[in-house]
């Protein structure tokens, strides 16, 4: 799998909203703080690095996320692509790959070694974040703060949808490659 | 020691979630360590608290699997409490074995916990019948993890000369120096796997991107530089690419990973008791995929076949994207 294989196809990107007016930051902040209250141990592995600022930049989306994973004081902001403030870590890659690392479907190390994602900044903070995410075994329902049967339905639906999206993205990439070949 | 028992598949776990993944993927035993400098994989966010270890051991035992606890760094003179505490805690958590290299840790175990199995860590670099028999006689060591410098023929000869089980690495990062005695990391970053539990400590590692690609640095040393689509690796001095004598190249060793998946039958014939997968610092995806592949390969080998297709299955899991059988298939002797 090359670095572009899992990028969102162009026809999907055209439907994505532009950066301005994103409500994602406040929503993700609430979600992350709620997760910290329900599962504080998920943040313990971060140690001192919970105060680090991570810029998560999905290369196939028109915006990025600035994340400080400080437990109940966590902050997530949707930002533009231009890096305007100091970040401890910058992680870049196709959104479906970044989500695959988050839900444990993909191996972040393998993606990094094969240059499918890029990482720069404080390596110890990246390593701590990666290990914390690995052990947390986050499901979509954890981020949505729901439980019971509804959580099962949400997890099955969202993870199935992401797997389907990855297949579509890889298929579109192959299709594009063939077009270029011709 | 030679025998006809099925080879045991020993798999890494850096977190409780990875321990569960390894057990579910088919590990016979899982090895792990505490969240401090008593083990040789002391990375941020990695490893186990005492409570996590106890829960992990309960989980493994419930599934009929073993947990081996690595306390395999060398205790510092005048400050041995962390190592004593780690050994006592591992036993209290009902660990199936403790993996140690330092004679102080081995002696503490032998004196205070004689009923707990002792495995000699690869960090002890014991590769001769004399050194292995010393550890067996002095501390009751039951198994030795072999340094990755021996050919299969040498392992066979060694096994015929000792009465201790042997465990051989079959996959993962390949340490090319004499383990337990390498201070390259200390030279570059002030910390070593032997004393601090970490080779190339991540707080000293950085990846710097520019228009020509990515530079991997350890402290002030540029260890390697990668073109934009070239497979990258974690910057260790022994696998760095340097300019010397007017040439650029890997002075010590290419950044390849060990994969002895095609040699399982030979290792069994050489009398190896257990096969070890490296990678406590790697994630669940790696552990699941590698353990599952080796489970299948070991089962095939035990039933008389040889699973050579494992090489292609696991190529994407290798640091640097390249694999080797290392010293096992030495052709120059």
Chain B nearest C-alpha distance from A89 (Å): 10
Contact A134 B18 (CB under 8 A): yes
Of A105, A109, A127, the CB nearest to B202: A127
Burial class (CB in 10 A: 0-12, 13-18, 19+), B87: buried
Count of domains forming chain A:
1
Q: Are residues B308 and B232 in the same domain?
A: no
B218 bridge partner residues: B205, B221
Of B45, B208, B284, the CB nearest to A127: B45
**Positive or negative torsion for Cα B149, B151, B154, B160:** positive
- For residue B282, the chain A residue with the least C-alpha distance is A109
Contact A110 B46 (CB under 8 A): no
Chain A nearest C-alpha distance from B329 (Å): 26
Residues of chain A positioned with their CB less than 8 A from the CB of B46: 45, 127, 131
- For residue B215, the chain A residue with the least C-alpha distance is A120
The tokens for B217 are 């640095």
Contact A128 B214 (CB under 8 A): no
Instruction: State how far the Cα of B321 lies from the Cα of B316, in Å rounded to an integer.
Output: 6
- For residue B46, the chain A residue with the least C-alpha distance is A131
Tokens 């080796």 locate to B294
Q: Are residues B234 and B266 in the same domain?
A: no
Of B45, B205, B231, the CB nearest to A45: B45
Instruction: State how far the Cα of A178 lies from the Cα of B10, in Å rounded to an integer.
Output: 44
Phi, psi of B244 (to 5 degrees): -155, 135
Q: Are residues B226 and B267 in the same domain?
A: no
With contact defined as beta carbons under 8 Å apart, do B295 and B283 qualify?
no
With contact defined as beta carbons under 8 Å apart, do B92 and B53 qualify?
no
Contact A123 B206 (CB under 8 A): yes
- Please report the beta strands in chain B, taking only residues with DSSP state E, as ranges in sequence order: 8-12, 29-32, 66-71, 97-100, 117-120, 143-145, 165-173, 205-210, 213-218, 221-226, 241-244, 247-250, 257-259, 274-277, 323-324
Residues of chain A positioned with their CB less than 8 A from the CB of B55: none
**Residue B326 contacts A, CB cutoff 8 Å:** no
Instruction: State how far the Cα of B53 lies from the Cα of B203, in Å rounded to an integer.
Output: 26
A67 within domain boundaries:
yes
**What per-residue confidence (pLDDT) applies to B318?**
65
Pick from A34-43, B57-66, B125-134: least confident: A34-43
Nearest by Cα to A118 from A59, A73, A39, A47: A59
Q: State CA B190 to chain mean position distance.
A: 22
pLDDT of A170 above 70: no
**What per-residue confidence (pLDDT) applies to B324?**
85
Tokens 């002391």 locate to B42
Instruction: State how far the Cα of A127 lies from the Cα of B44, in Å rounded to an integer.
Output: 6
pLDDT of B300 above 80: yes
A28 within domain boundaries:
yes
Of B15, B207, B319, the CB nearest to A135: B15
Instruction: State how far the Cα of B222 lies from the Cα of A85, in Å rounded to an integer.
Output: 26
B2 within domain boundaries:
no
Write out the residue range of the structural domain in which residue A85 sits: 10-181
Q: Are residues B155 and B227 in the same domain?
A: no
Contact B228 A115 (CB under 8 A): yes
A179: Cβ–Cβ under 8 A, 6 or more apart, which residues? none
Nearest by Cα to A84 from A55, A62, A59, A122: A55
A1 within domain boundaries:
no
Mean pLDDT of chain B: 90
Instruction: State how far the Cα of A153 lies from the Cα of A161, in Å rounded to an integer.
Output: 12
Residues of chain A positioned with their CB less than 8 A from the CB of B317: 107, 110
- Average pLDDT score over residue span A122-148: 87
Write out the residue range of the structural domain in which residue B16 sits: 8-174+256-329
**CATH number where A79 lies:** 3.30.1050.10
Residues of chain B positioned with their CB less than 8 A from the CB of A125: 44
pLDDT of A20 above 60: no
B95: Cβ–Cβ under 8 A, 6 or more apart, which residues? B53, B57, B67, B68, B69, B116
Q: State CA B206 to chain mean position distance.
A: 24
Instruction: State how far the Cα of A114 lies from the Cα of A1, in Å rounded to an integer.
Output: 9
ipTM passes above 0.90: no
Pick from A121-135, A159-173, B117-131, B199-213: least confident: A159-173
Helix (H) or strand (E) holding A97: helix A95-102
**Residue A64 contacts B, CB cutoff 8 Å:** no
Higher confidence at residue B312 or residue A112?
A: A112
**What per-residue confidence (pLDDT) applies to B116?**
98
- CB atoms under 10 Å from CB of B9, counted, come to 24
B1 within domain boundaries:
no
**What per-residue confidence (pLDDT) applies to B309?**
64
B3 within domain boundaries:
no
Instruction: State how far the Cα of B162 lies from the Cα of B158, in Å rounded to an integer.
Output: 6
pLDDT of A67 above 70: yes
| Beta strand pairing call for B257-259 and B247-250 | unpaired
The 3-state DSSP class for residue B223 equals: strand
Q: Are residues B239 and B262 in the same domain?
A: no
pLDDT of B306 above 80: no
Runs of H (alpha helix) within B165-252: 184-189
Residues of chain A positioned with their CB less than 8 A from the CB of B283: 104, 107-109, 130, 134
With contact defined as beta carbons under 8 Å apart, do B282 and B17 qualify?
no
Burial class (CB in 10 A: 0-12, 13-18, 19+), B276: buried
Nearest by Cα to B315 from B253, B259, B260, B254: B259
Helix (H) or strand (E) holding B324: strand B323-324
In what side-by-side order are the strands of the sheet with A64-68?
A75-79, A64-68, A54-58, A89-93, A118-121
Q: Are residues B52 and B125 in the same domain?
A: yes
Instruction: State how far the Cα of A140 lies from the Cα of A156, in Å rounded to an integer.
Output: 9
The 3-state DSSP class for residue B298 equals: helix
Instruction: State how far the Cα of B7 lies from the Cα of B166, in Å rounded to an integer.
Output: 10
pLDDT band for position B278 (cuts 50, 70, 90): very high
B210 within domain boundaries:
yes
Contact A120 B208 (CB under 8 A): yes
Of A47, A121, A131, the CB nearest to B14: A131
pLDDT of A120 above 50: yes
- CA neighbours within 13 Å on the CB side: how many for B86? 29
Contact A49 B45 (CB under 8 A): yes
DSSP string, B58-100: HHHHHTT-EEEEEE-SPPBTTB-HHHHHHHHHHHHTT-SEEEE
Longest dimension (CA), chain B: 59
Higher confidence at residue B320 or residue B66?
A: B66
Residues of chain B positioned with their CB less than 8 A from the CB of A112: 232
Note which residues in 150-209 of chain B have CB less than 8 A from chain A: 201-203, 205-209
Count of domains forming chain B:
2
Contact B203 A135 (CB under 8 A): no
**What per-residue confidence (pLDDT) applies to A182?**
32
Could you read off the pLDDT of A25-58 as tens digits, one per residue?
Answer: 898 999 999 999 998 988 999 999 999 999 999 9
Pick from A117-121, B102-106, B107-111: least confident: A117-121
The tokens for B282 are 């790697």
The tokens for B238 are 């022994």
Return the top range by mean pLDDT from A80-89, B72-81, B178-187: B72-81
**Residue A130 contacts B, CB cutoff 8 Å:** yes
Q: Are residues B126 and B267 in the same domain?
A: yes
**Which of B250, B278, B299 is the last residue in one of the domains?**
B250
The tokens for A3 are 């670095």
Could you read off the pLDDT of B237-273 as tens digits, one per residue?
Answer: 988 998 888 998 988 888 788 999 989 999 999 999 9
Q: Are residues B33 and B81 in the same domain?
A: yes
Chain A nearest C-alpha distance from B321 (Å): 7
The tokens for A50 are 């919970």
B304: left (phi over 0), alpha (psi -120 to 50) or beta: left
B147 within domain boundaries:
yes
A33 within domain boundaries:
yes
């Amino acid at each position: 799998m090359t670095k572009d294989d899992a990028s969102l196809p162009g026809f999907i990107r055209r439907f994505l909203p532009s950066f301005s007016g994103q409500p994602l930051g406040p929503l993700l902040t609430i979600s992350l703080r709620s997760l910290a209250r329900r599962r504080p141990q998920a943040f313990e592995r971060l140690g001192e690095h919970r105060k680090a600022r991570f810029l998560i930049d999905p290369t196939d989306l028109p915006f990025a996320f600035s994340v400080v994973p400080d437990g109940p004081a966590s902050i997530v902001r949707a930002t533009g692509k231009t890096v305007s403030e100091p970040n401890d870590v910058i992680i870049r890659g196709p959104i479906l790959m970044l989500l695959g690392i988050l839900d444990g479907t993909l191996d972040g190390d393998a993606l990094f070694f094969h240059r499918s994602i890029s990482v720069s900044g404080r390596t110890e903070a990246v390593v701590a974040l990666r290990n914390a995410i690995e052990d947390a075994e986050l499901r979509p329902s954890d981020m949505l703060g729901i439980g019971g049967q509804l959580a099962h339905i949400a997890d099955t639906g969202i993870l199935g949808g992401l797997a389907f999206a990855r297949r579509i993205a890889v298929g579109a990439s192959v299709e594009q490659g063939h077009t270029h070949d011709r | 020691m030679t025998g006809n028992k099925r080879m045991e598949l020993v798999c890494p776990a850096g977190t409780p979630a990875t321990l569960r993944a390894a057990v579910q993927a088919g590990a016979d035993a899982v090895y792990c360590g505490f969240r401090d400098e008593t083990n040789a994989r002391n990375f941020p966010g990695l490893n186990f608290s005492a409570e996590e270890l106890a829960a992990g051991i309960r989980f493994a035992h419930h599934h009929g699997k073993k947990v081996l606890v690595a306390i395999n760094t060398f205790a510092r003179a005048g400050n041995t409490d962390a190592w004593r505490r780690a050994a006592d805690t591992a036993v209290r958590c009902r660990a199936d074995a403790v993996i140690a290299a330092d004679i102080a840790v081995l002696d503490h175990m032998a004196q205070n916990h004689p009923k707990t199995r002792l495995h000699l860590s690869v960090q002890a670099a014991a590769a001769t019948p004399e050194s292995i028999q010393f550890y067996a006689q002095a501390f009751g060591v039951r198994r030795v993890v072999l340094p990755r410098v021996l050919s299969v023929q040498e392992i066979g000869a060694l096994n015929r000369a000792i009465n201790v089980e042997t465990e051989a690495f079959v996959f993962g990062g390949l340490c090319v120096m004499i383990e337990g005695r390498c201070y390259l990391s200390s030279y570059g970053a002030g910390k070593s796997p032997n004393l601090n539990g970490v080779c190339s400590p991540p707080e000293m590692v950085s990846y710097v991107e520019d228009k020509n690609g990515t530079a991997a640095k350890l402290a002030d040393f540029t260890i390697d530089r990668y073109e934009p689509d070239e497979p990258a690796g974690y910057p260790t001095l022994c696998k760095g690419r340097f300019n010397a004598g007017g040439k650029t190249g890997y002075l010590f060793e290419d950044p390849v990973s060990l994969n002895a998946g095609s040699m399982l039958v030979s290792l069994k014939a050489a009398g190896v008791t257990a096969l070890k997968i490296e990678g406590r610092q790697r994630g669940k995806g790696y552990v699941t995929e590698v353990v599952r592949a080796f489970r299948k390969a070991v089962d095939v080998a035990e039933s008389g076949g040889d699973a050579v297709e494992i090489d292609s299955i696991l190529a994407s899991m290798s640091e640097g994207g390249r694999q080797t059988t290392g010293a096992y298939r030495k052709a120059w002797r």
